[in-house]
Each structure stands twice: as structure tokens, then as C-alpha cells.
Structure 1
Amino acid sequence: MARSAPSPPTIPSAITIRRRLESLVKDRQQRILRMLPAGSKLSIALDCWTSPFSQAFMAITGYFIDADWVYREVLLDFKPIYGAHTGANLSSVLMETLVKHGIEDRVFGLTTDNASNNKTLVDSLQQALSDGVLIIRIPCLAHIIQLSLNQLLDHIKAANAQHREREISYTLNKIRHLAIYMNASPQRRETFNNHQTKDPKLMPIQDVKTRWNSTFLMLRRAKRLRAIFTPFCVEYDREDLLLNNEEWRQVDYLLCITEPFFDYTTQLSKTRDITAHYVFKIYNKLFEHLEQSMKQLRRKRIPWKKHMLDALEAGRLKLDEYYSQTDNVRGGAILIANPFKKLSLHTKIVFLILKSLGSQMAVRPSSKLDKMLNGGKKQPKAAADEMTQYLDSDTIDIGPLAFWRENQGRFPAIAALARDVLSVPATSAGESQRLEKFFSREEIEAAKEEKDERLDEVEVEPISDTEESDNRLNDEMVAEVAPSPPVEDHTEPKLPENNTRLRASGRKRKSREDDAFEYH
């Protein structure tokens, strides 16, 4: 194109291009921030990530609702992080960005994952801000869902039975070793692809800690490739890597149990709409799913199903641990802000919310004639009247933003609170969707499986109440009640030595339990 121009174009230097790009980004950020209504606040989501080259970054994203009740999102900064990832260090990075944009006194909520350093971050940030500014920390719901799922899966892996080859952990290891065996050699990959007749050609996935839901994605991909495994393993004389019918049934159970975790995490991370009003409903749906699954499994007597029941209870306890932290004033405010899920709240919570409304709505002063006619009686607080009218009105099946756009004149004080509350993102994981090109090979394959909507060939048989035959049950129960002598552990299928060098991801993680998914 440059060669076909009438005259040679002037190509700016790399420094000039960088300066212009920075100017364009700054102009766009300021243009969006000017839409923030006067007196309203915005919420911040933090998403930390470490590249394969061991460089750490922190994405700082702002969210608010403009005067037309349109949800706005702006990437305020993508800052490199140097030094230790302490709360104080991260707080200084965040504060620098807030000051740069002049919004340090206009932050309402801060959504972060549940790593311990983020709790310190909020404390340090609060100390650096003005006395009148109170920031509410909101735990990332997608991260909480993954912590519950991780607890469930870890409990399955920890199951220790005498016949371990019947355990789900053994089945998971077989699928992982299938993926390792096939991906370790270009020739095996080519052979596996040649056995597939449909495009795109797929490869089995090995789950990795750095990718949320990767165990679910590994199992779903395995189900899609079930028919291909047999001819491949026969050709390479590795029938020992094949799963039997019982092991495929365990895969079905795991897919049934973990699919809602995958669905809610994925949709929360993808959406560009408000999510604060979904928090309690998602909690309730997950509790219902876990309790229903536990109810079905309590009727089972086969050992691996009993161990799965224990794992479900562990996952539910982890979810309940974080759910109990939502029992506060802001949780009540989120319920009030949603016209479809309005509740008659406890008097104390309503009183506290009214107190928070006090600074947003002043009672119109009465005239002298009003005082004479009313005999000096005190008029009820306008905010209190407004709250009563709102709670007493009928619930409406309408989106929160559409409702408040139409009713902000009727309920001005609550609308002002709703504008701030509904701006809070339920998850801080959205930015990770934009970083997939930097993922490791396993994570890239998992990302492809996550986005693949052509799943008609995946047939998962749901949990049944009538699948345990008497003969099979008796054999299994005898094995559990009268265990055989200890035998050599064969939980991992034997693999041939491999000289292929695999590039490892440069991502780093902390060892604390709840920090397992701090970077993703």
C-alpha cells in the first residue's frame, strides 16, 4: 500500500506511535468518565495476572451507571506490578491510578478475589483516602464459585479406599494420562487426528490449576472423543489407558455435578451488563443444585458415590462460608435495588439503609402555614416514606436499569442508592477473557472447549435413582466392608518414558488454600 502511494508516506517513529496511542487511550477514558453523574459513585474491579514471562500485571476496571441508566465500563489502567504482591504494594498501585483520574473520593465498591493480600489492600486504601470515603470490598463471586468447586474436587482426590482403581480420582488420572500420552508426541497427535472424520480436529485436554473449570472442560472433551480413544489405544497397544463403562459413568456424575459451576462462572465473566442483582440468585441456584445432588447420592451405597457425597458436602460448606458474609447492609441494599426480588427486610436492616440514604435526600422544609395547620407535628421523613412505598409496591418482572430509568422520579433517594449499588460488578474476572492469547497450550485448548457451542455429540446420562443392581451392589459392599490386604498402588497408569520437552507455563501461584485461583 505504501509503495502504491503517489508520494512516499511519512511513517512516524515508534516513540511517536506510542505517544499517540497513549493519548487516544487517555481521551477515551476521560470521555467515558465524564458520563459519571454528579454525586454518583463508581465501583472498581481488580484482576491480577502473571504472564508466561513472569511479569505481573493488575487490570483496574471502573464500572458505573450513567444519567440514562446505561451501564458503563472503562479500563482505567493495566499496570505492571513490581516487588512483593503485598496488600500495601497493590494499594499504592491502585491509589496512583485513582488519583491520576481524579476519582479517589468517588469509589463505592471494590471487587477482588479472596486472596488474603486483597483484604490488606482494602485496609491500606481506606487509610489513604479521606475520612468521609468508605469503600466496600465485594468478594468476586466467580472466584467463590471456583473455591467451592475446588474444595469439592480436592475432596474427591483425597478419597482413600482399598480398591483405589474403583475411585473417581483414579478415573481422573487415567484421563489426564491419556492427554499427556497423546500430546507428548507429534506422531501420536497426527495419528489421533487421522482417526477423526469431522472438523475441527480435537485433542484431549489436561486440566491445570491456572484455568478455571479446566477439570470440567477436560471431562467434557473426553466425552466428545470417547469413540476415538478406542482405535487409537488399540493401535498403540495401550488398552490399559481406556476407561471402562463404570469409569465413564463416574465421568457422567462429575459432569452433572460440576456443570452449573462452569455455567455461572463463564456467564459472569462474559457479561457486560450489571451483575450485582444476580448474586443471591446464583447462590440459591448453586445451593439447590448441591442439595438436590446430595439428596440423590444419599440413597446410593456404592463406595465411590459415597465419597462423591462427602465431596459435595465439602463444596457446600465452602460456598456457605462465603454466603454468610453477604448478610450485611449492602446485601440488603442489593435486594432492594432489584424490583423483581424485593423483600420485606428485617427492621434493623431497613433502618440502616435509611440511615445511609439520609445524606442523599434532604427533607423539604415545611412552610409556616404547614406548621400552623399541622399543629407543629413532625412530618415523617421523606426517605422513610419513600422506602415504605417502595417496599409495599408490587414486584415487577423488569430489569433493574429499565425500572429505575422509569421510576427514578418516584423514588429519587432509593434510585440514587441503586445507581451506586448496581454498579458493583459481581466478579473481577472479566479482564482475563482478553488475555487468552498469552495462555499456555493446555489453557488455550481449555479456552477453545469453553467457547465451543457445538456440543450435540456430548451425551451425559444424568444421575439415576435406579441404576444400582443388587449383584453389583453386593460385590461393591463386600469390597468395602471386608477390605483386601494392602496391595501395590496402581492409581496412575504406567506411561513410557518421554524425551519430548514441553514448555511449561510461567504462571505462579501461592500455596494458601484460598489463593489457589488468585491469578487466572
Structure 2
Amino acid sequence: MPRNWIVDAFTVAKPTVIQPLQMARSTITVSFDHWLADNELDLLGVVAHYLDSNVELKTVLLALKPTDKIGYFVADNAANNDAALRLLSHHIDVKPAKQRLRCSGHVINLVVKATLYGVDNECMLDAALSEADHGGDSELYDTSTVSKFEAALRSKDEASRLDAWRRKGPIGKLHNLIVHIKSGSAGRRFFEAKQVETDTRLYRVIVNEGVRWNSACEMVERAFQVKDALQLYQEHFRSSGTDRLDNRDCLSAVDWQELTDLLKLLRPLKEASLKVLAVAKDGQNGALWQSLSILDWLLSTVEGLNKTLPRNHFRACVNLGWKKLDKYYALSDATPAYRKTSWLEGADEVMNRAWQDAKRRWPNEVIVLSPKQQEMDAFDAYNHDIDDDTDNDELARYLREERAPQGTRPLTWWREHHHRFPVLRHLAFEILAAPASSSADERIFSMAGDVVNDERPNTMEELAKAYQGLRSWYSEGLL
């Protein structure tokens, strides 16, 4: 069978996908990201998130073709994504400021990178602490220092990499200590022997991978599980011959205390990350409506931790993380969608404006008669005295609804009650179909790695796009 059969199938299948998009009950949120494959092929992933005719959430890979039902765009926080929307607005009806959603997972990643790697343990500490004390708003430390750190990690010189980690305080020391353990069979065997002496279970140490913060959290958690064995290991190798551990990579009691404080921050950040990166099949974890409340929770967590810290390296790091988080929290003001989903200050005003706009967008679905009048015949309805005009207002009726039982999934509730709110349901569907992050693109890129890699350097762009398109559509039941 010729290999272009996939391209032919992709072309034939397009109507099968486009028709459900046209029948979507919600507007369509588009997330996109760029990916450079292993064989140097440039790909742009574009994913549609929407509620189908059965009010089921769909996450579908699209061909590169805009539709007239686009609601929002989800992408990471790179400035070129803002520029892309501005350019797109010249060709289709897109309002970059109002329709720009920021990937919450990327925001959390930036916060953790600023916290873990934004301050060098030596030359920048005093300046960063001074800024923390006086509420400075410079991003010099986290932005430039993280960039230099990332560049150092790409070095082929192992000594340069170890030195770069060493400047990051206890997290860097722990990294280097674990690298030392994993670097040779003698070190691994000695460490396992010390575990046997101190515990009944054997654990493998975890090393953080570059600046991927999830593994940093896991590395510190595992370090506390094997703390006694790590202490014995470093005491032995800090003075042993050719395999000697650099004394600068040995953890002190003060370092362990800082790692304890670090876990108090990394654990809620990890929890938040798992929530926003999930697939919101029931409009729950991974949905846009959670984004602002999660950021608000993280701000409160970081502020509370910052108040308890001494004037040390970690306090300077936490301050930088807080500033990064506060920056993106403030940027959410530019996009009304975030305030529609929230009880926070300013949400009522934004919701009222959105409601008035919704009545203009869907005038044919505005209920003219109140529910009481709808139950009467025409003559009785005409003579009925309406005591409360808000009965005629869907938003007011919705706000008077009894709170749903704890644990009720938002999408489940709207699937059952949307017929009672013919205009408001459009706003609800619009929000519930929008994801909190662009992680769908990343998942597709991971799968695409099996198709476009060094072992398949001649894969055609059309073949790669068609294969992934069919794969995505099949998984969502569209084929």
C-alpha cells in the first residue's frame, strides 16, 4: 500500500471533523504551539477544544484553517504568541487582548524556574534580598540568571555544569550529590549498602532533569526518604581518593532546612500544575474556570511562606517566584474570560458586561416571558402582574439557583440544565470548553515523536500532519 494513503484518508476525513465543529454547542478555543521535530521538520500544532452536540468535551487536532467560531487562543507566554495573534487579527475577526489565554502550566513553570534558579547563591544574593525587603519590581535577577543557567546546562563540559548547579544553593548541592552517586557503580553500591543499614527499603535516587521543575520536587522528596544514607555517603566520599566528592556539594543542617522550606512551596505548585494540565473531560481539572482561583491560592501560599522565612538565599528566591506569579495574575485582567469564571474582585462587573453582550449576540434566544408567564395561556400571561422583573433575567435567575451538591461536575450540571438558560448557556459552554493550558499540544508533540524523528528523516510534512490528524480524530470518536 503506498504511504500517501494516510494523506488521502486525512483529506477524505476532513468533512467528518469539520461538520461536528460547525455543530459545536460552544465556541471553539484554539491552542497552538510550535515544535521542531528531531529531523528538523517545523510543525505548528493547532488543537480545537469545544463541546459537541451532546455537550461532551472534545479535544481535536485541526488542519491549519481558521473557523468563524473561534472563541479563545491558548498558548504559552512567549511574546511571539502575542505577535501571532496581532498578525492573525489582520485576516480574521480576532481581538488579541480579549481572546488571549495564557497557558497556566507555563505560568507555574516560570514561577518555579524563577524560584529555583533565579538567584545565584553568591554575587546576587545581597541585591536580591534588598529588593525583597523593599518591594522592588525588577526582573533582572530571575530573567537573566535563569537564561545564563540554562545556557550553562547545555555545556558539554561537566565541570561547568556542576559549577552552575553549585551556585543555586542547596537544590544545586543536592543535584550534584546525586549525580556523584549515579556516576559510577562503586558509588551506587556504597549508597545502597548505607540504605540497608538505615532502612528496610531500597529507593533509587532521583535527579532533576535540567530546569524541569517537576523532577526537582520529586528529587527533594526522595532525598528526605533517604536522608540518612545520603549523609553517610557524603561523609565517606568527601575524603576518599579518586572518587572524592567536592566539599562544596555536601549538604549541611542549614541546607536541609532550606530544602524543607522548599518542599512547602514545590508541593502546592505541583498540585496546581497537575490540575491545570489535566484534560477537563467533565469541565473539572484542566478547565479554564479553575485558572484564576488556582493562581490566587498559589499567591496566598507563597505570601504565607515568605513571612516565615529568615533573611536568607531561599527568601530571595521565593520573592522572585512571587513576583513572577503576581505579574501573570495581573495580566489576566486583560482577558474578561478569567473574570467570568471567578468570584474575585471585579468579576461581577465583568460578568454583567458579558451578559449584556450575550443578549446582543444571541437575541433570538432571549426569553421574553418569565417562567411563570410561560406556564399560563396568552390571556392570563397578559394580565399577570410581574412583581419582580428579574424573573425575566436569566442571569438573575441563575444567581438565585441553589448551590449544586459538593463534587458536582460543572459540565455535568450544565448538560442537565442548559435548556433553562438559553442565552447564558452560550457563555457557560464557551468557558467550559476552554482549557487552562496548552498541554494538549505538548501531548500531541510527544506522540508525533514516533512519526517524525531521526529514524524517519524523510517523513513528508503532509504525511506527518495527516497521520497525527487521523490519530487525534479517531481517539475522540470522530471517525
User: Which interval holds the TM-score relative to the shorter structure?
Assistant: 0.5 to 0.7
CA spacing shift, 1:58–1:263, aligned 2, 3 Å: farther
CA spacing shift, 1:381–1:427, aligned 2, 3 Å: same
Return 112-121 or 417-426, whichever deviates more: 417-426
Partner residue of 1:312 out of 313, 318, 340:
318
Partner residue of 1:253 out of 255, 261, 267:
261
Unmatched 5+ stretches in structure 2:
127-165, 370-377, 450-479
Residues 39-96 of structure 1: CA distance to partner in whole angstroms, max 9, x if unpaired? 742111113334455554332211101122211111225xxxxxxxxxxxxxxxxxxx
TM-score scaled to structure 2, two decimals? 0.67
Q: In structure 1, what is the equivalent of residue 427 of structure 2?
A: 417
Q: Distance in 2 between matches of 1:130 and 1:239?
A: 60
Q: Distance in 1 between matches of 2:191 and 2:214?
A: 25
Tell me whether 1:98 sits opposite 2:45 in the alignment. no
* SS of residue paired to 1:222: helix
Q: Distance in 2 between matches of 1:57 and 1:256?
A: 39
Q: In structure 2, what is the equivalent of residue 354 of structure 1?
A: 356
Give matches, 1:482-501, under 5 Å.
none
By how many angstroms is 1:310 displaced? 3.4
CA spacing shift, 1:251–1:23, aligned 2, 3 Å: farther
Q: Distance in 2 between matches of 1:413 and 1:292?
A: 41
By how many angstroms is 1:308 displaced? 2.6
Q: Distance in 2 between matches of 1:190 and 1:342?
A: 52
Residues 351-398 of structure 1: CA distance to partner in whole angstroms, max 9, x if unpaired? 3432233221324689xx88x968xx9x9799x711121123233242
Q: In structure 1, what is the equivalent of residue 217 of structure 2?
A: 216
Q: In structure 2, what is the equivalent of residue 493 of structure 1?
A: none
Q: In structure 2, what is the equivalent of residue 177 of structure 1?
A: 176
By how many angstroms is 1:182 displaced? 4.1
Q: In structure 2, what is the equivalent of residue 406 of structure 1?
A: 416
Tell me whether 1:333 sits opposite 2:340 in the alignment. yes
Conservation of the 8 A alpha-carbon contact between 1:204 and 1:225: no
Letter in 2 for 1:289: T
* SS of residue paired to 2:363: coil
CA spacing shift, 1:438–1:28, aligned 2, 3 Å: closer
By how many angstroms is 1:115 displaced? 0.3
Q: In structure 1, what is the equivalent of residue 273 of structure 2?
A: 265
Conservation of the 8 A alpha-carbon contact between 1:44 and 1:63: yes
Letter in 2 for 1:244: S
Partner residue of 2:48 out of 57, 62, 78:
62
Tell me whether 1:45 sits opposite 2:55 in the alignment. no
Q: In structure 1, what is the equivalent of residue 4 of structure 2?
A: 19
Q: In structure 2, what is the equivalent of residue 504 of structure 1?
A: none
By how many angstroms is 1:261 displaced? 1.3
Partner residue of 1:296 out of 308, 319, 327:
308
Letter in 2 for 1:391: L
Conservation of the 8 A alpha-carbon contact between 1:46 and 1:112: yes
How much identity, in percent, do the aligned residues show? 19
Q: In structure 2, what is the equivalent of residue 74 of structure 1?
A: 60
By how many angstroms is 1:312 displaced? 2.4
CA spacing shift, 1:321–1:407, aligned 2, 3 Å: same
By how many angstroms is 1:28 displaced? 6.3
Q: Distance in 1 between matches of 2:93 and 2:447?
A: 40
Tell me whether 1:395 sits opposite 2:403 in the alignment. yes
CA spacing shift, 1:66–1:268, aligned 2, 3 Å: same
By how many angstroms is 1:260 displaced? 1.3
Conservation of the 8 A alpha-carbon contact between 1:404 and 1:415: yes
Q: Distance in 1 between matches of 2:349 and 2:274?
A: 36
CA spacing shift, 1:159–1:437, aligned 2, 3 Å: farther
Residues 204-258 of structure 1: CA distance to partner in whole angstroms, max 9, x if unpaired? 414413x343432333343344344334753744373432332222211111112
By how many angstroms is 1:289 displaced? 1.1
Higher helix fraction (1 or 2): 2
Q: In structure 1, what is the equivalent of residue 130 of structure 2?
A: none
Q: Distance in 2 between matches of 1:32 and 1:135?
A: 27
Q: In structure 2, what is the equivalent of residue 129 of structure 1?
A: 92
Q: Distance in 2 between matches of 1:131 and 1:60?
A: 16
* SS of residue paired to 1:110: strand
* SS of residue paired to 2:4: helix
Q: Distance in 2 between matches of 1:411 and 1:133?
A: 29
Conservation of the 8 A alpha-carbon contact between 1:179 and 1:206: no
Conservation of the 8 A alpha-carbon contact between 1:193 and 1:202: no
Q: Distance in 2 between matches of 1:26 and 1:194?
A: 57
Aligned residues: 380
Unmatched 5+ stretches in structure 1:
1-11, 78-96, 336-340, 440-520
Tell me whether 1:111 sits opposite 2:110 in the alignment. no
CA spacing shift, 1:311–1:171, aligned 2, 3 Å: closer
CA spacing shift, 1:249–1:424, aligned 2, 3 Å: same
Q: Distance in 1 between matches of 2:224 and 2:444?
A: 28
Q: Distance in 1 between matches of 2:253 and 2:320?
A: 27
